[in-house]
Structure 1
Amino acid sequence: MNEKKRVVHLTTVHHPHDPRIYHKECKSLKKAGFDVYLIAKETEAGVDKESGIKHIPIKDYTSRWERMTKGAWTLYKQAKKLDADVYHFHDPELLPVAWLLKNNRNHVIYDIHEDYITSMLQKEYLPKPVRKFAAKIYKKMEQFFTKKMELILAEKYYKDIYPDGDCVLNYPMVNTAFLKHQREGEAEDKLIYTGNVTDVRGAYLHAKLPLIDEKITMNYIGKCSIEFAEEIYRIAKDQANRIYITGVNQYIPKEKIEQAYLNHNWLAGVAIFPETEHYMKKELTKFFEYMNAGIPIICSNFPVWKNFIDTYQCGITVDPHNEQEIKDALEYLRNHPDEAKQMGENGKKAVQEQLNWGKEEEKLINIYQHLLHK
């Protein structure tokens, strides 16, 4: 590019150090020669100044309503002042803001991280008619606001919902520390789960693992509310002393999660989720992270997940409600260390050669360059 084009990433929901937004997209765009700003909630750590990405902090509201009103309005005013060539936003609640920012001189990109419509339909705390009505209204609203926007999709199956969107998948960056790290000898009787700790992400099923296998410890590393942590300990009953949660009421940065992968010779990375329409169709980001670190996976046997695990030979799938199957999978990895090590190596190789951010980074830069040369 002859002149630096200004790019502004916008979020009121995600942490300023969000792996996809900051570590992947913002840093890749900065490296490609763009002038990159990030408007995101304030944090004590701030954003790494050496990256050259300019972080404009906005107040972090604990109330969702305040965040969607006061927070969104503050973000809009800051973004408007920057007069960017490209606005790239990451939260559905910012659809009206992004619509206001769009003009004939710029481009607006909606980065779709989740299948929000399906997510609304499975909120069981709401009556079914309310869920259906909310999903229908959201779909109409999304169609209206995004008419003149570009869509970027973080997951393959979103293409079924948004056929005009471009996939920039949330694959991991190849970590050089993982390249050097070799899984030697028998694994420890430790299981790891990384990411936000919620019921639809298997938190309650994972809490039962120390009851299923009397040898293992279950380690959660990710943001978890204090109320949720207490429920996890309650489910584990007299084995609660073999549950460890890092991230109670706090965000765990990417660097700390990556270090956790290296701290132990983990028996497996787990993703034993209950059946939900959204997750059954989705290739989890944590799959790629476990594979990147050379850790075998134990996950639910949903058809999409089973096909993925079978393709890359990187783990074992189980019926999430069959305790004997889960126990057998744990025993297999424990009693077959060579096979377990090979699963880890298979996963690591797949990430190094195919499933990595380097390939997706090229797609992202090409999308930007195409837009700016229109």
Structure 2
Amino acid sequence: MDAAKRVVHLTTVHHPYDPRIYHKECKSLQAAGFDVTLVAKEDPTDSRKNETIKHVKLKSYSNRLKRMIFGTVDAYKKAKQLNADVYHFHDPELLPIGWLLKKKNNVVIYDIHEDYVTSIMQKEYMNKPLKKVISTLYKWMEKLFAKKMELCLAEKYYKDIYPNGKCILNYPTINENILRHQRDIAKVDDSVLYTGNVTHVRGALIHAKIPAIHPSVSVHYVGLCKKSIADEIFTIAKDKQDQIHIQGIDHFVEKEDIEAQYVSRNWLAGIALFPPTEHYMKKELTKFFEYMSAGLPIICSNFPVWKDFIETYDCGIAVDPYNDKEVKEAIEYLRINPDEVKRMGENGKKAVVEKLNWNVEEEKLVKWYKQLLLQH
């Protein structure tokens, strides 16, 4: 490009160092020659130095309603002042802002991280009538405001909902330290790893049962976990509480800290024993690709999409998350078959290196941006 086009990414919900927004999209666009600014909330614990992505900071609100009102207004004012060629926003509550920012000579992109209609219906903090109202309101807002926007889809199946959207899948960045890390299969720990936000719908309480199901095995959670959920986890573990480890109680765990955990010990497996929900049953989890990148076999729920994924890449075992016998047998199979741990791990790593990685998606993202700008 002759002159650097100005790109602004906006979020009022996500952490400023969100893996998809900051580490993948913003950094990739900057490396491709775009002038990138991130408009996101301030992290009071931020100790980073010499970051090259410009960060316009928004005030953080502990109250969700205040964030949706005042945070959104603040984001609009600051984004408008930047007069960008491309505005790329990441939260449903910013749909009206995206609509206001859209002009004839710019591009506005709505990055759809989730199947929001389905995910709203499984929010734990809302009652059922309220969920229906919010879901209906969201569908109305999306139809009204997104007409002149481009849609960026983080997951394959979203294409069924948004046929005109562009899939920029949330595959992992290639971390050479993780790829080069050689696991000593002869010394695999009796430890399983879960990474990412720790919530009920992501299997927090199912994972808490593992030490009781298989007394030799400890569970390590690495990701944001509300203290109330941590308390539930420890309650379920009962006399096995010393085999439960949680890094991230009431605080965000950054990408670098999660990646460090992958090489911190010889994990037996990465786990994702989720309860069946319409949202998660349809999608391929980002943590699958991260486990595979680290050479970890996966133990996950046997949802059809997940089971098909595991079988396609021969990289783990899918089980009924509510069948303790199946869970125990899967864990024991890996414990007594280190060669299988190695084979499944290598299969997963090979798939990530060859095609399930951010490098492939980065090329698509940059090419798409350039095409959109040529049209304006």
Task: State the TM-score, normalized to the length of structure 1.
Answer: 0.98
- For the Cα contact (< 8 Å) 1:196–1:224, is it kept in 2? yes
Question: Matched residues in 1 for 2:47 and 2:16: separation?
Answer: 7
CA spacing shift, 1:170–1:47, aligned 2, 3 Å: farther
Shift of 1:48: 5.4
Q: Which moved further from structure 2: 87-96 or 135-144? A: 135-144
Question: Matched residues in 2 for 1:129 and 1:246: separation?
Answer: 35
CA spacing shift, 1:172–1:275, aligned 2, 3 Å: same
1:171 maps to 2:168? no
CA spacing shift, 1:27–1:123, aligned 2, 3 Å: closer
Aligned to 1:21: 21
Give CA deviations for 1:226-279 in whole Å, capped at 9, x if unaligned.
111111101111111110000001000000000000001000100000000000
Paired residue type of 1:279: Y
Root-mean-square deviation (CA, aligned residues, Å) is 1.3
Paired residue type of 1:24: K
Give CA deviations for 1:56-92 in whole Å, capped at 9, x if unaligned.
1111110001111111111111101000000000000
Question: Matched residues in 2 for 1:53 and 1:175: separation?
Answer: 20
CA spacing shift, 1:181–1:12, aligned 2, 3 Å: same
- For the Cα contact (< 8 Å) 1:221–1:246, is it kept in 2? yes
CA spacing shift, 1:114–1:151, aligned 2, 3 Å: same
Q: How does 1:1-374 map to 2 (within 5 A)?
A: 1-44=1-44, 46=46, 50-123=50-123, 126-184=126-184, 185-374=186-375
Question: Matched residues in 1 for 2:265 and 2:125: separation?
Answer: 38
Give CA deviations for 1:95-120 in whole Å, capped at 9, x if unaligned.
11111111112110000001110112
Question: Matched residues in 2 for 1:328 and 1:342: separation?
Answer: 18
Shift of 1:132: 3.0
Give CA deviations for 1:290-319 in whole Å, capped at 9, x if unaligned.
001111100000000000000001100000
Paired residue type of 2:347: N
Structure 2 stretches lacking a partner, 5+ long: none
Paired residue type of 1:221: V
Q: Which moved further from structure 2: 124-133 or 297-306? A: 124-133
Question: Matched residues in 2 for 1:151 and 1:4: separation?
Answer: 23
Q: 2:318 is paired with a residue of what secondary structure?
A: strand
Paired residue type of 2:267: W
Paired residue type of 2:371: H
Question: Matched residues in 1 for 2:93 and 2:7: separation?
Answer: 20
Q: 1:26 is paired with a residue of what secondary structure?
A: helix
Q: 1:200 is paired with a residue of what secondary structure?
A: helix
CA spacing shift, 1:4–1:46, aligned 2, 3 Å: farther
Shift of 1:123: 3.7
Give CA deviations for 1:116-162 in whole Å, capped at 9, x if unaligned.
10112234665544433332221111111100000000000000111
Question: Matched residues in 1 for 2:237 and 2:51: separation?
Answer: 43
Paired residue type of 2:342: K
Shift of 1:361: 0.3
Q: Which moved further from structure 2: 192-201 or 96-105? A: 96-105
Q: 1:9 is paired with a residue of what secondary structure?
A: strand
Q: 1:68 is paired with a residue of what secondary structure?
A: helix
Q: 1:330 is paired with a residue of what secondary structure?
A: helix
Structure 1 stretches lacking a partner, 5+ long: none
Q: 2:219 is paired with a residue of what secondary structure?
A: strand
Paired residue type of 2:290: E
Task: State the TM-score, normalized to the length of structure 2.
Answer: 0.97
Question: Matched residues in 2 for 1:315 and 1:290: separation?
Answer: 10
Q: 1:263 is paired with a residue of what secondary structure?
A: coil
Give CA deviations for 1:148-197 in whole Å, capped at 9, x if unaligned.
00000000000011111000000001110122111222310001100000
Question: Matched residues in 1 for 2:214 and 2:282: separation?
Answer: 29
- For the Cα contact (< 8 Å) 1:269–1:298, is it kept in 2? yes
Q: 2:201 is paired with a residue of what secondary structure?
A: coil
- For the Cα contact (< 8 Å) 1:7–1:34, is it kept in 2? yes
CA spacing shift, 1:160–1:181, aligned 2, 3 Å: same
Q: Which moved further from structure 2: 176-185 or 106-115? A: 176-185
Question: Matched residues in 2 for 1:263 and 1:324: separation?
Answer: 29
